[in-house]
Structure formats: C-alpha cells, structure tokens
Amino acid sequence: MFSERIDRLTSSLIREILALTQKPEVISFAGGLPSQDAMPILDMADVPENLRQYGATEGEWELRVGLADHLAERGLRCKPEQILITTGSQQAIDLISKLYIDKDSPVALEAPSYLAAIQSFRLFGAKFEELPLQADGIDPGQMDHLFARARPRFAYLIPTFQNPSGVCYSEAVRAAIAEVIERHGVPLVEDDPYRDLMYESVDRIPVCSRLRKGAWMLLGTFSKTAVPGLRIGYMAVSEDVFPYLVRLKQCTDLHSNRIGQWWSARFLKSPEYAGHIEGLCDFYRERRDAMQAGLLRHFHEIAEWEVPHGGLFFWVRLKRVCDTRALLVKALERNVAFMPGEPFFANAANGCYMRLNFSHSTPERMEQGLTILADVIREHFAKVAEEPAVDFAM
Amino acid sequence: MFSERIDRLTSSLIREILALTQKPEVISFAGGLPSQDAMPILDMADVPENLRQYGATEGEWELRVGLADHLAERGLRCKPEQILITTGSQQAIDLISKLYIDKDSPVALEAPSYLAAIQSFRLFGAKFEELPLQADGIDPGQMDHLFARARPRFAYLIPTFQNPSGVCYSEAVRAAIAEVIERHGVPLVEDDPYRDLMYESVDRIPVCSRLRKGAWMLLGTFSKTAVPGLRIGYMAVSEDVFPYLVRLKQCTDLHSNRIGQWWSARFLKSPEYAGHIEGLCDFYRERRDAMQAGLLRHFHEIAEWEVPHGGLFFWVRLKRVCDTRALLVKALERNVAFMPGEPFFANAANGCYMRLNFSHSTPERMEQGLTILADVIREHFAKVAEEPAVDFAM
C-alpha cells in the first residue's frame, strides 16, 4: 500500500519528452535545455583531493561566499551564512514543499507557472490559489484579496523571465507586491533561474531584496548559465528559515556533490565569467530572434505571442481551442517536440498554449521544426474548422 | 506557518558532530567517514563534454549496466532497467518515505537502526514498529507476529554489517525472514552500504535475492567504498515500484550529477576495482583490530561489545546506565567525539550504548582517543557509583 500522495503523482510530460529528445532526429522545442555549444569547458584536471570526503550540508564555504557577492551585484544583500547549496533548483522546490505543505495547504502561484514546481507542490498536497499573469506581472490588488481570503502558506513567483510565459514583472509591480507580501506576512518563494539570460535591459531587481521582514527564499541555479549536468543550485533565504531548510536537506541527500560545487565556485569567480554570460546572451538572443522570425513566417495566422526579453521560451497562444497534448502526438510523429500548455496551469487550463524553447536548436533546425509544427497545427485546425475561432483574454 | 511535519524535524546530532569533526584537534569516532587515505584517486582529466547537458532521471545507462553486473556477482539478479541512480543512499531513503509513508503509517525496523533513516521516516510521520536485534539478526517469529498485528507499509532492514550494531544476519535468519516477508506481502527495503567492507567471510547474500514476488528495494552506495563527496548511490528495485520511484526522483532533484556517475561507472568496471576493495578491507581490518585491542585495554571493565566482521563500527554497551549524550558533552571538552546510542532507537532507547567508528582515525589517534574516552566514562561512573550496575539482555 503506497502513501496517499502517490495518487497525486502525475506522470510527467517533461520526463517522457526529455527521453524523446535524446533521439538525434527529433527537433525539440520542449525542454529547457541549454545549448551545449554555449556551455563552458568543464576543466576538472585539478580537483582537490580533500573533496572526496563527505562535506557540509550547507555547501562549500567558498561557493557560498561567491554567491553572496554575486547576488549583491544583482541587488540582493545577504550573508554567505544565508546560502544553502542544493542539488539543482528542483531540490529547493522539494525542500520548500517539505517545509510548508500539508494536505490542502493553500499555495499562491502564477497562472501559468512552472510545471515541475506544480508537480512537487501537488505531490505534497497543496491546494492551488492562482494569480493570472498579465504583460507586466500579476495584479497586486488581486494578490491582496487572495492573501486575505486564502492565507496561503507561501507565494511561489517567477518574476524575471517567467517560465513558461516569458513575462518580466515591471518595477512598479515588484514594489507593489513586495508591500502586499510584507503586510500579510506571507513567505515569498522567488524562483529565479533565468535572471542572467537577459536580451534587452529590463527591470529585474529581485522582489526578495525589497522585503525588510518576513520569510523569503530566492532560488538560483548554475544549470541555465553553466553546466546542468553538475546539478548545482542554491537558495538564498531569510535567517529565520535557514536552519529548517538545512535539516530538511540533511534528511534528503546529506549534501550536494562537492566536485560540482568546487567547479561552480571557481567558474563564478573566474575572470572569464562575465564574458561567458555576455557571450551566452548574444548566442541566445540570436536564437530568440531566429525563432521570432520563424514564428512570424509560419505562425502569424494561427497564433499570438510576445517576444520575451530573457529566458529560454516563447509562450504561444493558438487562435483556436484545441488539446495541445493531442497536437504533440501528431508533431512527434513528424519528429518535432514542444511542451503543451495545459500542465503549466495548476488548476484548470485557460486557453490553448504551447511553450517553445529557443535555446536548444540551431536556427536551421528551428526553421525546419517550426515549418512542420505550423503544418501540424493547420491540419488540426482544418479538422475543427466548423468550430468558431476564439479570442482569449490574457 | 510551517507544515505539521516540521514539528517532527529533530535537530540532528550527526550534523552537529560532523561539523565538530572538521576541527583537526578532535579525534572523532562519531561519523561513518571513510578514510581519505583509502580512497581511490579522483582522475577527472577526461570528462566527456556531453555530460555537461541535463541527463536522464534514471541515471547513466553505463552505470546502471555496471551495477546490474556488480549485483549479480553478489547474488542479486536484476536488469539495468531496475536500477535507479540516487544522490547518495540518503536520497533513496527520502524517495521510499515519499512512496510509502503517510502520517501514522506503521514501518517495521530493527532496534537499533540507522538514525538518518529514522529521521526521514519520522519526518514523514511513520509510526515505528521495532524488531530487536540479536547476534544473528532479528527473530523471524517476532517479525511474523509484528506483520500480522501491525501491517507495516514496509520493513526497513540492514542485514549485512548493520549500522550501528555491526550484526550480520545468518543465512538461516535470511531464509526465514524472506519466507515471512513473502507470505505477508510486506515490501522489503534492504539497506546495504557496507556489503563490500568484509573482514571475515560470513553469510551475506542479499535477502532481496530470495524474494520471488512482492516489492523489494536494495539500497547501495559508492560512499563507503569509493568517493562520498560525489554523492552517488543507487537502488535496485522490483519492477512494480520502479516507475513510481523514478517520478518521485524527478520531483526531488531531476537527476543525480553526471560526472560522479561517469566516474563511478568507470571505476566499477576498471581492472583496479577488485584490488581496491581488497586493499580497503585490509586497511580497515587493521583499524578494526586496533580498535578491538584498544577496547580490550581500556574498556574491559566498563563495557561489552562484539567484534564486527564488516562495516565501520563497534557498538559498545556500557555496564552502567547513563545518558551518553551527557557523556558526549564531557568527551568533546577533551576533544573526543563518538555517537551516543539513543538516537539509533526509533522508540525508547534500550540500554546504554555508544557507536564507535574505526575507519576514520589512525591507530595512534585511536589509542589516544580511547584512553581519553575510557577516562571520561570512568569519571562519570564514579559519580553514579551509588547506583547498582545493570546487566542488559541484548
């Protein structure tokens, strides 16, 4: 007899699609895979011998110091003692679920939101309270009402180059929601994996940096800017929650691998780091622009979208209602993968979306893939042509 | 407001003591730290570039194949498809907690048992049903009664060089408990980190290998025989539970670091592997013998113990009742650390024990540490001399 939470363990589209993308013939717009061509060299020739031993649960001191400096440059002041190294950012989500969620605990989050966070929160029994995303972020007034009504255990937000929508909160929204969060004393979980992948200059000071009291947790990772295979993420958190998160991590995997921490610390403080990020942004900006051009060519009649200023995704809204999971099956028959929009909505899906990643494919394969995908969508639309077109409110 | 499980998140002695052992002046018998002098060289000069990318949740195929062969040599037949790579063996415990434990779910385990497993099971709300350990293992008849009465979600056992007791189940007990487990259909979790650290030849075929039906999970690790800092463990499991564990791992940390998996796979199939294990056993046998000699010199009047045939620990029973946590405070004042016995009992502690690790200290430091520790104990006993000595039944 399994635990009751296993009833909520949905099969994961990400997992099954990541498996498919390993086939070389598949053009994948599905995962959030960085391009290997843009990753730094993994020089491991001189790993220190003492890193073979067990390490501290909190993480390697050198990396924590480096990250405190890194975050200070980005507007968040915290001490190295407030940084916990995690086994990828996904582990931070697991630890937060453990810290806050009982069965039917209310959790506030954006609609849409990151599907692997939704999966973890759901596994632990969360009751989702959604905040619809608009072009400049969520509505602070709506958040105020939601907090008063639902008293969520925490708010999970991705204010900077949101996954999947690409939305980046404006400075005005950041200021307003910080005020609401502080007034209600709701802990803030700010998931922030895409901060450094910025293609145009926009507001992006962490919301956490505006909070003068209450619990806050900023989640970061090296997976999008450096080497995902090392599985090194981190949390910068307010002092009140740190000891709990450390003990939870100890129960979860004792500590994260030390070689990956050592490499990440060295990379972060290397003179090459700033240039690497700049080069990465140039590289991905070009791919974003290639996808925008491809979408304009092939999708202008069938979909709507905004050009994201950062991150790794286009969030494309189809002009007709359809089940994008059925579309995915058709697309995969023609060796193209994308991420259906439905699983990004914690409660009921709203509209008909697909998430398209632009970091992984070369511009040539991207063009090929978008052509096929547009064909598949048009064929599908032709079948449902008798139904009227719909106009979704965002 | 935290989750209700946080009330059960005990502060961890292991963690606080591991922190202390980083001071060079402390002689530590506390942790299960392997000796760095016995670890293989971590040659990372030629890490393949493709390992920088995200990997599969199940783990690297080459490592899973290598482990299937490795386990077959040890008596457990399973396919590579049944092996899930974990972020240390501790993660396997976390995944099992998630799979099986709701609040007040009964879990059967040895008394004493591994304290970090107890902590994880407790965090998820387990109600502990204990099976007292004897010299040759647990009592199959008692297990039969316990299963009939309590219907545990699973049984967590460490049959080979048990932590903390050092007990290795006899072949007769292994056969008898396999029969009981199969008859009741209770899933078996066999934690097996010490299998290859064997100093005299004893029965040690995995109990899982005797099960022809029902769910089973064998937990292994590279942390005790190779490089703990890499955080690579694994589970070999029955086919019925594999898909659930993979999905749970995906929610937990997506996948384990690929560099560590690559290194472990290469090490496992290298011609040096067998010789390394043999050398490691010689190295630790010598340290075990040194601790036995030291205990005979300093502890014969104050304690009782068995000589372990494998693993990393002596489990020492003091001849007078005392709080070994108070003893630890006194010992730390004199720069000696050990692990108090109390936290190894899931319910009430039974008797007065200390766990002494023999892998980490050199024989010279060991002698010095045991001398101090015996002094501390004798001083403590002198204070409680008015109380009668007690004779514990094991």
Which among B36, B230, B248 is the nearest to A9, CB-wise? Answer: B248
Cβ-based burial of A182 (10 A; exposed 0-12, middle 13-18, buried ≥19): middle
Q: Which of chain A's residues have a Cβ under 8 Å away from the Cβ of B253? A: 87-88, 90-91, 94, 231, 253
Of B130, B150, B127, the residue nearest B138 (C-alpha): B130
pLDDT digits (tens, 9 = 90+) for A215-248: 999 999 999 999 999 999 999 999 999 999 999 9
Q: Decide if A213 contacts A179 (C-beta within 8 A).
A: no
CB contact under 8 A, B253 and A94: yes
* Distance from C-alpha of A378 to C-alpha of A390, rounded to nearest angstrom: 15
Rounded average pLDDT over A121-148: 97
Residue range B42-99, pLDDT digits in tens: 999 899 999 999 999 999 999 999 999 999 999 999 999 999 999 999 999 999 999 9
| Cβ contacts of B19 on chain A, cutoff 8 Å | 56
Rounded Cα distance between B67 and B79, Å, is 9
Q: In chain A, which residues have their Cβ closer than 8 Å to the Cβ of B56?
A: 18-19, 22
Percent of chain B with pLDDT over 70: 94
Residue A218 bridge partners (DSSP):
A190, A236
Residue A349 pLDDT level (bands cut at 50, 70, 90): confident
CB B4 to CB A90 under 8 A? no
CB pair distance less than 8 Å for A100 and B3: yes
Residues 288-317 of B with CB under 8 A from A: none
Mean of pLDDT values over B6-10: 88
ipTM for this model: 0.95
Q: Look-up: residue for tokens 């979600």?
A: B153
For B256-288, what is each residue's pLDDT tens digit?
A: 999 999 999 999 999 999 999 999 999 999 999
A372 or B22, higher pLDDT: A372
Look at A111-125, A149-163, A349-363, B229-243 and tell me which has the smallest mean pLDDT: A349-363
Q: Which of A28, A290, A97 has its CA nearest to residue B252?
A: A97
Residues of chain B contacting residue A11, judged by C-beta atoms under 8 Å apart: 247
Task: pLDDT band for B389, please (50, 70, 90 cuts).
Answer: low
Work out the average pLDDT over B356-380: 96
Q: What is the per-residue pLDDT across B178-203, written as a single tens digit (0 to 9) for each? A: 999 999 999 999 999 999 999 999 98
A181-216 residue pLDDT tens: 999 999 999 999 999 999 999 989 999 999 999 999
pLDDT of B197-253, one tens digit each? 999 999 899 999 999 999 999 999 999 999 999 999 999 999 999 999 999 999 999
Q: What is the pLDDT of residue A394?
A: 37
- Quick one: A344 exposed, middle or buried, by C-beta within 10 A (0-12, 13-18, 19+)? buried
Query: How do strand B233-237 and strand B216-221 relate by DSSP bridges?
Result: antiparallel
Distance CA A324, CA B186 (A): 42
Instruction: Please indicate if any CB of chain A lies within 8 Å of the CB of B16.
Output: no
Q: Residues B383-393: what's their mean pLDDT?
A: 58
Inter-chain contacts counted by CB atoms under 8 A, chains A and B: 212
* Contact residues on chain A for B100, CB-CB shorter than 8 A: 1-3
CB proximity under 8 Å: A 224-263 to B: 227-231, 244, 246-248, 250-260
Identify residue B348 by its one-letter amino acid code: A
Q: How far is A15 from chain B (nearest CA, A)?
A: 8
Kindly state the tokens that stand for A74: 């980005």
How far is C-alpha B151 from the geometric centre of its chain's CA atoms? 24
Interface test with A, best of B5, B37, B103, B253 (most A CBs within 10 A): B253
Of the candidates B5, B15, B253, the beta carbon closest to that of A57 is on B15
Tens of pLDDT, residue by residue over A351-380, are 799 999 999 899 999 999 999 999 999 998
Which pLDDT band holds residue B24 (cuts at 50, 70, 90)?
confident
| CB spacing of B250 vs A15 below 8 angstroms | yes
Of A11, A54, A91, the CB nearest to B247: A11
Phi, psi of A250 (to 5 degrees): -60, -40
Residues of A in contact with B51 (CB under 8 A): 42, 229
Average pLDDT over residues A343-354: 88
Alpha-carbon gap: B195 to the closest alpha carbon of chain A (Å): 19
Give the closest residue to A189 by CA, choosing from A159, A163, A165, A161. Answer: A159
Nearest CA in chain A to B87: A253
Is residue B257 classed exposed, middle or buried when 0-12, 13-18 and 19+ CB atoms within 10 A define those classes?
Answer: buried
Residues 6+ apart with CB under 8 A from A203: A168, A169, A170, A171, A174
Mean pLDDT of chain A: 93
Which pTM was predicted?
0.95
Which residues pair with residue B110 across a beta bridge?
A: B131
List all residues of chain B from 141 to 160 with a beta carbon under 8 Å from chain A: 153
CA atoms within 13 A on the CB side of B30: 27
Residue B21 to residue B26: CA distance in whole angstroms: 6
Q: Supply angle C-alpha A205, A234, A359, rounded to 5.
A: 70
Measured in angstroms, the CA of A336 and the nearest CA of chain B are apart by 19
Segment A51-59 mean pLDDT: 94
The CA-CA-CA angle for residues A92, A41, B88, to 5°, reads: 40
User: Residues 31 to 50 of B: which have CB under 8 A from any A CB?
Assistant: 31, 33-34, 36, 39, 42, 44-45, 47, 49-50
Q: State the pairing for strand pair A154-157/A188-191.
A: parallel
Q: Which residues of B touch A50 (CB under 8 A)?
A: 36
Residues 6+ apart with CB under 8 A from B179: B140
Q: Which residue of A has its CA nearest to B246?
A: A15
Residue B296 to chain A, least CA–CA distance (Å): 30
Nearest chain A alpha carbon to B151: A1
For residue A33, is pLDDT > 90?
Answer: no
SS3 of residue B110 by DSSP? strand
What domains are there in chain A, each with its CATH number? 4-38+275-383 (3.90.1150.10), 51-269 (3.40.640.10)
Residues A55, A394: Cα–Cα separation, whole Å: 48
Does residue B259 contact residue A284 with C-beta atoms inside 8 Å?
no
pLDDT tens, position by position, A276-285: 999 999 999 9
